[in-house]
């Protein structure tokens, strides 16, 4: 079966889980995000997703996404250049002492490295003995071909001297 690339531009009101729900629905419909860029302002968001999908599934994919997310606006276009090749999915965990702006800094780093992020979740927990909070983020991602796990680890650990990135599996 021949796969095609299509750029999906999505905009509208976006709750905290809308990007995760869009990714999950894409996978359920037989597609895969090669890369994504998400911009939020107040409660609005706009996202660009480079989707790979079998050509015969594309029309059904477009209809299903519009039906499932009727409150969002969808536009589609064909990319003019070849997409970046990405690794198989890997799972990483970020551990560090929490600080203001940490999640934002992590998102900006991932965008700058052009990672294909499939899932991102995090939590904060107070540690009374330390008088501080700890932060943990679990991320499933694909690396662009020019980036390896060692370089990824180095870039993440540059965010904060106490930050540690570990891989799972």
Whether residues 163 and 98 fall in one domain: yes
Listed range (80-89, 91-100, 132-141) with the worst mean pLDDT: 80-89
Whether residues 114 and 155 fall in one domain: yes
User: Which residues, 6+ apart, have CB-to-CB distance to 23 below 8 Å?
Assistant: 33, 118, 119
The yes-or-no verdict on residue 85 having pLDDT over 80 is no
User: 3-state class of 129 per DSSP?
Assistant: coil
Whether residues 67 and 101 fall in one domain: no
Q: What is the pLDDT of residue 13?
A: 87
Whether residues 99 and 139 fall in one domain: yes
Q: What is the pLDDT of residue 93?
A: 95
The yes-or-no verdict on residue 84 having pLDDT over 80 is no
pTM for the predicted model, two decimal places: 0.54
Q: How large is the average pLDDT for residues 92-107?
A: 92
- Mark which of 77, 108, 137 sits at the end of a domain: 77
Q: What is the pLDDT of residue 16?
A: 65
- Mark which of 50, 77, 104 sits at the end of a domain: 77
Whether residues 71 and 97 fall in one domain: no
Whether residue 68 lies inside any domain: the answer is: yes
Based on the structure, what is the number of domains in the chain?
2
Between 79 and 77, the more confident residue is 77
Whether residues 73 and 103 fall in one domain: no
CATH number for 143: 3.30.70.260
Q: Residue 45's closest CA among 21, 79, 81, 80?
A: 21
Whether residues 101 and 68 fall in one domain: no
Q: How large is the average pLDDT for residues 32-47?
A: 85
Residue 114's domain spans which residues?
A: 90-168
Q: What is the pLDDT of residue 128?
A: 86
Between 16 and 166, the more confident residue is 166
């Amino acid at each position: 079966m021949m796969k095609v690339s299509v750029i999906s531009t999505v905009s509208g009101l976006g709750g905290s889980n809308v990007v995760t729900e869009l990714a999950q629905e894409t996978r359920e419909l037989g597609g895969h995000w090669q890369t994504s860029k998400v911009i939020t302002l107040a409660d609005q968001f706009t996202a660009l997703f480079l989707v790979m999908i079998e050509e015969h599934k594309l029309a059904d994919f477009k209809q299903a996404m519009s039906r499932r997310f009727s409150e969002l606006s969808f536009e589609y276009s064909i990319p003019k250049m070849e997409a970046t090749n990405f690794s198989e999915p890997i799972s990483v965990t970020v551990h560090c002492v929490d600080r203001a702006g940490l999640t934002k800094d992590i998102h900006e780093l991932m965008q700058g490295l052009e990672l294909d992020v499939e899932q991102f979740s995090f939590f904060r927990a107070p540690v009374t003995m330390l008088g501080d909070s700890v932060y943990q983020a679990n991320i499933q991602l694909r690396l662009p071909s020019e980036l390896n796990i060692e370089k990824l680890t180095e870039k993440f650990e540059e965010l904060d001297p106490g930050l540690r990135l570990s891989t799972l599996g």
